Structures are given as C-alpha cells and as structure tokens.
Structure 1
C-alpha cells in the first residue's frame, strides 16, 4: 500500500549516555536527559520546563506538522464530519434526588459541560456551574468532583487547569450561585460531604503527586487548620474517599492493583477515629455498600477469583462476621454492585459480555436484564436515592447509538428515556458487528469485537484499525462511537482485541496478562491481528495497530516483535520505558504499579522479565512501519519523556526510511485535549495518519 510522506529530516536528538547498574546488569540510556529534573515543578507550571527540552519537543511538533501537512484538508473534513454527529446542545435526562433533579447540558459550540437542576417533577432549570465560563482564558480545563450537599444547599466542585491532575476545590452556594471563601489547592480531585452538609473530606497530594492524606474541612474555617483524618505511609497504595448512598458512612479506600483496605467514619460524626473493616492482605480485594443494618461486600475472599457478594452487620463488620450472599461462580465476574432499600443490583460479565442482575430483598428472587446482540456494552448508572423502585442503565453496541433506560425493579418494565441523537444521520442497519474468537499461541481464544459498513468487502482488501489495551483488569466495552464512523464510511473495519490483562473473560484473564504472564498480552494481540488476516477481513499492509497508555506499551511491544504485521502504529501517551519507570520510585505511580508489572528494584527476576519486553529497551535494528506517538507535557501517569525517548531511539536504530513522529500537547496531560471539540482535532490527526499509511487519502 502507498505510504507517501515528504522527505524531511527529523529532529536530531543528542546522545548523552547515562549508565545504570542493577543486579549486576548495566544499561546505557542515551536519551535520559529528556527527563526534566524539575518535573514536579513542571506539572504545576509548564513554563518551568528546561528550555532545551522544550525546544526539542517543539521541534518534534514542527516535524510532525510538516510530515502530515498534506492531510490538513482531510483533518478539517474529519473534524467537521465528527462534529456533525454530535448534538451540540445535548442535555442529559435529569436524575431525581429529594426535591430536585440534576442534569448536565451543553451549548452550541460549547466545549465544556454545564450543570443544572430543576424541581423534581420538572420546571425551570437553574444553571449552577458553567464549564465554558470557568474554562475561559485557560489553555486546559477539566472538572473533577462535582457534588451537591445532602441538604441541597451547597455544591462541592473542583477543577484541573494544567492537565497534571492537581485539583483545586471550591464550594458554591445554591442561594446566590457564588463561591465561598473555602478554597483548597493541590487535591486529588475526590471529595465527599459529611451528613450534615457542614464540611467535607478530601485527598491531598504529596510532593510526588500521590494522594497520601485525607483531611476534613469544616466550612468557613482556615484550610491550613483542616483535621488530618488518615495518613497512608506506604507509597505503594492509592488513597481515595467516598460516601454511602444512605449518607450514613464515609469510606476511606486504600488499595493497589491487587489488595484493598477500607476504613469507616460515621458521616454524622466526621471527626470520629476511622475504624478498619478488614486489614489489608495481599491479593484480597473488597468494596462496601451500605444496606441499612448490613453491609454488602464485593470481594474475592476465600478463593472467589471472579468475586462474590458477602454481608456483615453494620455494628460488627469485621471479616469474621462476613457471610456469603451471592456465591462465587467461576467464569461469572461480578464487576460492580449497588444496594437499595428493597433490591440489590449488580453488573456481571461472562465471555466478555455484560449483564445486569437484580435481587429482590423481599421476595429473595433474582432476575436479569438480557440483550440479544452479538456484542454490546452496558452502563449501570443505578439511582441517586436509597429508597427507589427504579434504576437507570445505558445500552449500546458497535452499530447502535447509546440508549438510556429507566428499569422498574419490581415489574421489570423498561422505559426508554433517551436515544443518542446523531444529527447528521445514522442507520444502524448500514453496519454490521461481529464477535470472533482468535486462537492464541497457547490455545486460548481471544475475543475480537469488530464493526464495518455492510458494503465493505470482507475479502482481505479492507483496511483495519485494531485497538488493544490489556492491563489493570480494564475491559473495553463493545460500545458505539460516532467518531469511528468516519473510518467505517471509508471502507475500514474497526476491531477491538479483548486480550489478556483485561477482565473480559473473568479475573483469570487479567491474572494471565500481568506481571510474570505479561507477554501473553502481546502474543494475544499479534494473534488477533493475524487471525483477521487469515479470515480475510484485512491484510497486514492494511492493518493499523492502535493503543494508549498501557495500550501504548502494547503498541511498542508488538511493533518490536512483529513489525511486518502492521501498516502503521498509533501510540497514545505510550508507557514504553517500563523498566526505567519501575526503577524510579519517586514517580507518582511507580510504587502502586509494582503488583502489576513487578518490582525491578528488589527483584532481579522482575528486572529481567521487564527488560525482556519493555519497548524502549528492545528497539533493535530492523524495519519498522510508520509510527505516530502522542504525548502530554503535564501527564503525571505516563510522563512526556517516555514517548520522546522512544521516538529518538527508534530513529537511531531502525533500518528503514519510514517516519517516526511525536506530537506533544504542550497544554495537556494524560487525557489529551479536554474539550469535546478540541478532542476531535486530536482524533482527526490519528485518523488522518491511519488513512495515509493505508493509502486512503480522502
């Protein structure tokens, strides 16, 4: 397939070798200088970036722009197409809570959400938080927690204006829609009210951008005098805070990727000393929901690999009093659970497909909400009130726009509240979706969800964009996307490989794609692509690989192992310098990530394992396909220097003339551009690259 790029010399990255010896093994890193020594300061003020590093990143951006200049009209066309599929003045169906109903809306041309409320049964809207107004004049803006108080008189809200995920907390009064003097800086973005609406709990980030402390702030007092409630001294654990639907308890959540611990505080006595439910035990996870006189506990305790639901008395919730409620069933992964006065609702997954189950606490009978499509996605929104007879859920598939339903828990009646509007038009019957099972090298079957236009020839001639992630137990739903229609309408197939490392086929699917078994993730993805070629869906010179964050690490690994399989690689904020990052315990996420990848500081075995696949460490002299990497300057999750170093090393080592490009958003972090339309511009650049490397130029 033609891959026409201009003959422009890429930026030359200086080599400044740094040697590091661990476990008797010495590595040399020629590009370690791209890591800013003052990265903590850069997260809070990007202007403090070393001028030499800034100059290099800007040169990379200039190179990218020149290499993709011929696609600029196409990118503009793609943006307009994708904009045309968005209802610009969209509004959510308000959620009822006490005397009010709360919703979110947008304005024509608006980038950010606007929060409103109405009387419970409808009426005039009160706009109480306008994202476009708050974002005015800021290069970056994203909301964190937006939470009204139990008495519905005040609003707790926070925002990040750097992309570095340092959130500023504020409190607004509904009476005059003015912010109070209570302002708290450098929080983790999560916060929860006490029962009396007199104050709130919040997480505070430390110097290394980790949420290590929880404080309580009483309204009207000096934040410098806030009460320290909990201090997590183990840097390997995340810390967060939330509350129960009944508003009777505050939950302090301590967890890493395989272990959890929860502490309780009565919501009506916020200064009470926290009480631990069950001390952390490696490999044991649990979460709580309050159900009146009992807690309902989702856990993998007692070998329940795919989780079960247990109960415990509220007045004696220690582990010795836990009793099975919904027993464990192998292959049936319970993902989430909600508890209401008369019902227990949970979301489960079997063979990569979700299902919602409802247990009636009075009749003790269980029912299910089932769907018939071959591949689909469900979202369990639940309800805002404990005493409810109705829950809300969303449904979509790769061909069907999102539908929002109210579900009556006793009668089983579904009421369609809203169907996603595609203003430019969409006929689901014009598209087909399929679920395939690709054999992996070890005999496992890897689910692959795909969608294409009904007129696309399935004879191997179609280009294909294949997405993958495969980490942290994250399952990617087979949901509807208006953006991807721009490729489908140009004859593309879009596929997602549900590879190991996610929980698509149960918790064991995750376990067999992490730590010592991480390489299964890569072989699964390669096998999925080869299966699509074998079954005549596409061809290797038409197959583009696509992944972000840990999925970007996947991209780096598979292109090292099977570069000939792909026409191009899209790596978004790619976690490609795995070994160096896992050796640097000062970085925000390194200690909590060790259960996922291994700890190469203390373990020579883990060091050698990570070194065997870390994309940056395995770049070699061979031909690589065209590669486009995206980064965010203030990204605290995958730091900008990882893709910058990777791109430099690829150019130095590879044996072909295909371009390797880096595009760094100098005003954003891990999630890229935050506005709903500015995000489309980033998507358009990805799609333009995909079209270009597969010979589709219109």
Structure 2
C-alpha cells in the first residue's frame, strides 16, 4: 500500500450515509494497524502505529485532522461553555497594563500589554539619577497610544514582529552594555530554533546581522562588540557556543566551545558584575564551568573545576571588602548542596571553603551576589525560602548577618525576580499563593521592610479571603509522606447540615527533573473554583519539593514512586472526604503527561477524567532511539534501555503506551503540537490509537493537535485563553459542573496599579 493512500490508512470519523457535507462525525477515526516488530535484549516489541511518526506522510496529516474533527464533534456541546470561560478569563484581566520597571544601568525597562492585542511591547525610560532605585509610577492613562511613563522609548512591538505568523515567540532580548543596541531572538514556528537580530536603539533600524538556528537568546561581551550564542545538534542537544562579531556574516562566527559528550548540554551567560563570561556544561548529574575574564581577556577561557562524575556545581562572582571571589553552589559534601567560596582562579573541589555548610533539612538551590548582600534560594519542608546574607567589610568577615524573609501563609511560593543590577540595595522578589495573585515586592536589606510594588490585578471583585488553602499529606505505599497543596472556594465543601461533603477536584502532577510544582495563582483556574471545584497539586517524588532525596527517589529505577505517590494523593483526597473518584480529574503535561498515562493504566478507577498535555507516553520507544531529540541527555533521568536489559525491563513495566490494556479507562483528553521538538506529536497520536483499539467500556478518548505550535502550545494571550478554555470546559464536563452556576463578575479591581 502506498503511504499516500490516505483513505485506506485512516478511516475518518464516520457519519451516516447521505448526510450533508460538514455534518459532525458520530464515531471516532479508525487507524490502520501496520505492525512493526523489533527485538531488544531478546524480547520482541510489536508496534502497530509507529508509521504515524512520518510527519511528511499525507496519511499522518489526515489522521491528525480526523482526530481533531472527532474531538470537535465530541465536545461540540461545550462550545457555549468554552466561550463563557474565555469571557470570564478576559473579564478578570486588566488587558491594558504595565509591568513593574526594572533598572538596568541607566534605564528602567518594562513591558506593556494592550486591550485587543495578542502580544505586548517592551519599553524603557531613563533613570533620574545614580541613586534612583525606586521604580517610577506609571501615568494613570496607560492607553495604547500614550506613553506610560515620561520619556518612554519603544524597544520592541511584539505584535508587529508577529504579524503574518500563526505562531510567535520572543526567545530573549538583551541590551548592549552601552545601552545603544538591542539583541533579540524570535521563533515563528514553535520548534524553538530562534533567529537573532540586532536593533540600533538610536535610529530604530535593524543591523544587517542575522543569526539563525539559535537556542534562546544571545549574550553581549562587556565591550558590546560581540554576541555569544548556543546552537543544537541533530538530536536537539545544545552542543556549541559561538562568538559573533557585529558587522560580519554568521558563516564567519568563531566556534568557542563544542561539547562532544552526548550526555552534556551547554549554555553561555554573563555574571551580574559583568566581569566574567561563563560557559556552563552539564548533564543530569555532572557540571563543568569555563570563564573568560574581561579584565584579562588574553588569558582565554579557563576551566574552573574539571568535570567529575556526580559533582554538580555552579559559579557566581562576588566582591567582598574590595576582593573578588567565586561563590560555588555544589554537592561535593552532600546531596542538598552547600555554598562555598573560592579564589578567582581554577580551583579543585578540595580547596573550596564552606560558607553555608550542607544541611539535609535545607535544599540550597541558587545564590545571587550583590554589592552588599547575597540572596540564597532554598527550600525546606516543601516550601520555598529566600535567605539574605548581609556582607561584611572584609573577606575574613564575609557575612555580617544571615536571616530569612518571612511570610505568614501556610502554603506559598517566593523567589527573587528582576534583580539584574549588582549595585542595587534592594531585592526584588515575587510572592504568590493559590489564592493570592502574583505579587512583586522590593525588600530593603538593611531595614528588612517589604514594599508591595504590584499585585496582579484581578477584575470582577476578586477577594483572596473567599478561598481556603491547605497543605495536606498523603501516605505513599512505602510509608513516605507526600505533600498536597489544595485550594477551594470557602464554603464549597459545606453541606446543608453544617458538615463537609466531597467536591469535584482537579489534581495536577509532574514529578521529574527535580522541577518543583510550587503553589501558584491562576486566573483561568477561578472558572473551576467559582463553580464549586477544588484544585490540588500532588508534590510527588521526581520533583524537588522535599529536597534532592525527593528527586532521586523518583527517577531511574525508582520511577514507579512518582506514579504511586500520585495515586496515593488521589486516594487520600477520596478517603478524607475531599473528592469522589467519578468527579476527580487528573492533569499533567510533558513528563507529567507520562505520569497521566501511567496512572491511567495503574488506577483507572480513581479518576473521572484525565488530561495529558504534550505527553511523554511512548517513553520506551523514545529512549531506545539515540538519534531522537534529547534521548542521550535523558539517560541519567530515565536510564538507557538500549544498553541495559534491567533498564529496559523497568521502563517496559511503566511506559504508558506499552502497558495499554483491555481496561475501562476514564475519558482521556490528549493535547499536543505538531512542531513540538521535546515530546514529538507521534507519542500521543500512537497512544490514543492504541487506547481506542484496546480499551473496553467507555472508550472515550480525544486527541487535539495544534498544527502551528510547539511544546508550549499556542502563542498569543487570546489564543492561549481560548486554548485553556477548551481544556477547562472538558474538565468541568467530566466533573458534572458544565451547567453549574457561577457568580457574576463586576469591574472591581483587586491589585496594586502600576
């Protein structure tokens, strides 16, 4: 059979004979099975749907479009609810708005958004003087055709850059040290390969320089003559650092560093002091840093500490009492890291001197150096913390004081935000809970006073006091206590007799790469909460919420803990009266999508619906192919099933696609993007095809593919609101709340303007 024989490869969603064109289908598409048998470690694997990997095959495109048509037909009854939710999100949003300005050298930089426009703009105004560290207040009228601040200069109009493209993403922007040039990168397909351009901020014109195939953005050297950037290999591994001299062609760029170890990736940046350029090379378990001293460029790039398997570290430049030193965050003395000092010179780990020793109760995550203080990012008992170290006046008296920034809420997230200036006397920090909108503060290190600069406005009379937040603890199979963060509208659980009753709950999970799913506020989520549902985050192993041990216990041979923890959290919600299985919906994306696929196989009876976004559900096939994007760099996370029979067996025991069985699965919505380079569209496409062919009972499966997007989904805020409204409507339908009443919105603003 020819691959272009679309009709024989995929039976489209069917309609009765004689129905008019355009009539919605009444049954889902049926995909032809084309069995492919492979043998690994003496074991045969039969895959009926691997042919869907050929993105250029017209039959594949036809299948994805047929699935989209079925999903639209299957959810047609929710069209009104989707529109309502979109309007609720829009009604809660102050569409014309201004971010809090951040000082970089001689200007305050900020972004603007405008009603009716998908994208915003970036702007700046001059500082008022060398000691001007208080961000300027905007004009009361922030209309699109008016400057928000006196002397405003438009840097980038993202709507203009996005014009004519179905997808648009700004990868990064960086102003040259003399503040006369702006390097910025854009992606118009969603494949995360960016193009860098340079704009002359004095004239507004673009320079002839154009750098393609870049990951992220570009970094200036101190003189403002060169840009450093990163590119990827065929496996989408960041492997090369280049230097581009302004005014020359990309073909003339100098290759500064090539990382040949397939487990490692690289990146480039500049220290806050602007003295050092640094190249970081890292695998999942090992680090290595190179640095270039702008005060001594003839010395060239130097390796600070050569890579040693299992040793992770990063580098920060500090100045204490007029003396330069490196701060080293490392795990040489324990898994939860310590902070040490070292001279500005190549220095082995044995010569690092501890500043904050390793503490198994505190996971140290990062350190930022400023002229008068250090800011340490850490977590303890499952919560984020900011720690301030006031610096002394000499290297032998490095720390004058050491304390935490305190907050009163039971469950919260805090972190520094927008602190690019080495000389700044304050710390800009972000704070949020699941009920309190994202808030920006300036923290005065000397007086220890917090000044609220802005709380994200929420229109419609929103009041955080109308919601209750809690930290719950589930008990995993092995006895481990697993934290759950949960929020609901106050009174939603009250029954007529004054007691409590179960409510529908959306349970979210991720559990990989030591990425912590900390509590956060969401305006779209209010459309769930205000209809009587709850939202919970299961802080499962594989993430970093409870320290490095939490991560180590949820990867490689211990990966099953991630799935068991999530199931334990779901059972805890049911057993403690928070939820009931038929209205408990699970959601996760990417590696969290793998989690969704695994729990669907292992505990389908616990859930009334499952949403899997860009899901890594065909994990074993991917990890068996070293030529696919990211596979080799992922060996330290998942293992190498191609080389190790034990890893193969272990992954085969949980990989969602391989374990689809004749079970009565809950309804499943899988969402993916055609141009995703991290988790290829073929994984959810194959998964849904196998589920539909194998499952028994309800067999209610939907696949929705964005045909012009990447791993992060659609671009543009209105498009993203429509996208989320689609998913939320499906979730509410699974919860039995599609017709639930919701309190009307007024136009009161909750938040601090500016």
TM-score range, shorter chain: over 0.9
When the two structures are aligned, how many residues end up with a matched partner?
Answer: 681
Do residues 10 (structure 1) and 41 (structure 2) align? no
Taking the aligned partners of 1:146 and 1:320, their CA distance within structure 2 comes to 38
* TM-score of the pair, normalised by structure 2: 0.89
Alpha-carbon deviation of 1:636? 0.5
Report the counterpart of residue 329 of structure 2 in structure 1: 298
542, 551, 557: which one aligns with 2:592: 551
Taking the aligned partners of 1:270 and 1:201, their CA distance within structure 2 comes to 15
Taking the aligned partners of 2:436 and 2:30, their CA distance within structure 1 comes to 47
Alpha-carbon deviation of 1:318? 3.7
Secondary structure at the residue paired with 1:678? helix
User: 1:470-509, aligned counterparts within 5 Å?
Assistant: 470-509=511-550
Report the counterpart of residue 132 of structure 2 in structure 1: none
Alpha-carbon deviation of 1:317? 3.5
Report the counterpart of residue 103 of structure 2 in structure 1: 96
Cα 1:284–1:518, aligned 2, differ >3 Å: closer, same or farther?
A: same
Alpha-carbon deviation of 1:266? 2.3
Secondary structure at the residue paired with 2:97? coil
* TM-score of the pair, normalised by structure 1: 0.96
Taking the aligned partners of 2:350 and 2:202, their CA distance within structure 1 comes to 48
- Given that 1:158 and 1:169 are in contact with CA atoms closer than 8 Å, whether structure 2 keeps it comes out as yes
Taking the aligned partners of 2:34 and 2:300, their CA distance within structure 1 comes to 52
4+ aligned runs moved over 4 Å, structure 1: 268-272
Taking the aligned partners of 1:314 and 1:235, their CA distance within structure 2 comes to 29
Do residues 615 (structure 1) and 681 (structure 2) align? no
634, 638, 661: which one aligns with 1:593: 634
Report the counterpart of residue 174 of structure 2 in structure 1: 147
- Compare 341-350 and 539-548 and name the one that shifted more: 341-350
Taking the aligned partners of 1:110 and 1:256, their CA distance within structure 2 comes to 40
Taking the aligned partners of 1:316 and 1:550, their CA distance within structure 2 comes to 37
Secondary structure at the residue paired with 1:146? strand
- Given that 1:200 and 1:218 are in contact with CA atoms closer than 8 Å, whether structure 2 keeps it comes out as yes
Taking the aligned partners of 1:374 and 1:466, their CA distance within structure 2 comes to 19
Report the counterpart of residue 484 of structure 2 in structure 1: 448
- Compare 267-276 and 128-137 and name the one that shifted more: 267-276
Q: Deviations over 1:113-149 (max 9, x none)?
A: 3111011135321111111110011000001121111
Report the counterpart of residue 234 of structure 2 in structure 1: 207
Segments of structure 1 that go 5 or more residues without pairing to the other structure are 1-5, 40-48
- Given that 1:171 and 1:182 are in contact with CA atoms closer than 8 Å, whether structure 2 keeps it comes out as yes
582, 585, 593: which one aligns with 2:623: 582
Do residues 369 (structure 1) and 405 (structure 2) align? yes
Secondary structure at the residue paired with 2:114? coil
Do residues 415 (structure 1) and 445 (structure 2) align? no
Do residues 632 (structure 1) and 678 (structure 2) align? no
Taking the aligned partners of 2:71 and 2:157, their CA distance within structure 1 comes to 35
Q: Deviations over 1:617-659 (max 9, x none)?
A: 0000111010000001010000000000000000111011331
Report the counterpart of residue 139 of structure 2 in structure 1: none
Cα 1:690–1:311, aligned 2, differ >3 Å: closer, same or farther?
A: same
Taking the aligned partners of 2:670 and 2:294, their CA distance within structure 1 comes to 46
Q: Deviations over 1:162-209 (max 9, x none)?
A: 101110011111101221111011111232110100111001222332
**Which of the pair has more CA radius of gyration?**
2
Taking the aligned partners of 1:494 and 1:124, their CA distance within structure 2 comes to 44
Q: Deviations over 1:376-424 (max 9, x none)?
A: 1112115221112111001111111121111111111111111111122
Taking the aligned partners of 2:668 and 2:446, their CA distance within structure 1 comes to 53
Alpha-carbon deviation of 1:312? 0.5
Report the counterpart of residue 282 of structure 1 in structure 2: 309
Do residues 54 (structure 1) and 61 (structure 2) align? yes
- Given that 2:505 and 2:535 are in contact with CA atoms closer than 8 Å, whether structure 1 keeps it comes out as yes
Taking the aligned partners of 2:681 and 2:294, their CA distance within structure 1 comes to 40
339, 342, 350: which one aligns with 1:309: 339
Do residues 345 (structure 1) and 391 (structure 2) align? no
- Given that 1:115 and 1:128 are in contact with CA atoms closer than 8 Å, whether structure 2 keeps it comes out as yes
Report the counterpart of residue 3 of structure 2 in structure 1: none
Taking the aligned partners of 2:265 and 2:361, their CA distance within structure 1 comes to 28
Secondary structure at the residue paired with 1:309? strand
Secondary structure at the residue paired with 1:538? coil
142, 159, 184: which one aligns with 2:186: 159
Do residues 130 (structure 1) and 137 (structure 2) align? no
Q: Deviations over 1:20-62 (max 9, x none)?
A: 11111110000000112xx6xxxxxxxxx32111111000000
Q: Deviations over 1:5-32 (max 9, x none)?
A: x992111111111111111111000000
Do residues 85 (structure 1) and 115 (structure 2) align? no
Taking the aligned partners of 2:205 and 2:118, their CA distance within structure 1 comes to 22
416, 433, 436: which one aligns with 1:397: 433
Report the counterpart of residue 325 of structure 1 in structure 2: 355
Taking the aligned partners of 1:112 and 1:236, their CA distance within structure 2 comes to 36
Secondary structure at the residue paired with 1:623? coil
User: 1:244-283, aligned counterparts within 5 Å?
Assistant: 244-267=271-294, 273-283=300-310
Taking the aligned partners of 2:59 and 2:39, their CA distance within structure 1 comes to 27
Taking the aligned partners of 2:234 and 2:471, their CA distance within structure 1 comes to 46
Alpha-carbon deviation of 1:693? 1.4
Secondary structure at the residue paired with 2:648? helix
- Given that 1:229 and 1:271 are in contact with CA atoms closer than 8 Å, whether structure 2 keeps it comes out as no
Alpha-carbon deviation of 1:222? 1.4
- Given that 1:313 and 1:321 are in contact with CA atoms closer than 8 Å, whether structure 2 keeps it comes out as no
Do residues 569 (structure 1) and 610 (structure 2) align? yes
Secondary structure at the residue paired with 1:70? helix
- Compare 506-515 and 671-680 and name the one that shifted more: 671-680
Cα 1:289–1:471, aligned 2, differ >3 Å: closer, same or farther?
A: same
Secondary structure at the residue paired with 2:473? strand
Alpha-carbon deviation of 1:460? 4.1
Alpha-carbon deviation of 1:471? 0.4
Q: Deviations over 1:325-373 (max 9, x none)?
A: 1111112011221001211111111111111111111152102101111
Cα 1:267–1:168, aligned 2, differ >3 Å: closer, same or farther?
A: farther
- Given that 2:243 and 2:254 are in contact with CA atoms closer than 8 Å, whether structure 1 keeps it comes out as yes
- Given that 2:169 and 2:187 are in contact with CA atoms closer than 8 Å, whether structure 1 keeps it comes out as yes
Taking the aligned partners of 1:434 and 1:381, their CA distance within structure 2 comes to 26
Taking the aligned partners of 1:365 and 1:33, their CA distance within structure 2 comes to 62
- Given that 1:196 and 1:268 are in contact with CA atoms closer than 8 Å, whether structure 2 keeps it comes out as no
- Given that 2:669 and 2:702 are in contact with CA atoms closer than 8 Å, whether structure 1 keeps it comes out as yes
Alpha-carbon deviation of 1:465? 0.4
Report the counterpart of residue 695 of structure 1 in structure 2: 736
Report the counterpart of residue 230 of structure 1 in structure 2: 257
- Compare 266-275 and 542-551 and name the one that shifted more: 266-275
- Given that 2:305 and 2:346 are in contact with CA atoms closer than 8 Å, whether structure 1 keeps it comes out as no
Secondary structure at the residue paired with 1:616? coil
Cα 1:7–1:215, aligned 2, differ >3 Å: closer, same or farther?
A: closer
**CA RMSD across the alignment:** 1.4
- Compare 645-654 and 360-369 and name the one that shifted more: 360-369
72, 75, 81: which one aligns with 2:82: 75
Taking the aligned partners of 1:697 and 1:360, their CA distance within structure 2 comes to 54
Do residues 521 (structure 1) and 562 (structure 2) align? yes
Taking the aligned partners of 1:275 and 1:50, their CA distance within structure 2 comes to 48
- Compare 276-285 and 13-22 and name the one that shifted more: 276-285
Q: Deviations over 1:671-697 (max 9, x none)?
A: 001212211111111111111112222
- Given that 1:338 and 1:382 are in contact with CA atoms closer than 8 Å, whether structure 2 keeps it comes out as no
- Given that 1:312 and 1:318 are in contact with CA atoms closer than 8 Å, whether structure 2 keeps it comes out as no
- Given that 1:553 and 1:574 are in contact with CA atoms closer than 8 Å, whether structure 2 keeps it comes out as yes
Secondary structure at the residue paired with 2:400? coil
Secondary structure at the residue paired with 1:438? strand
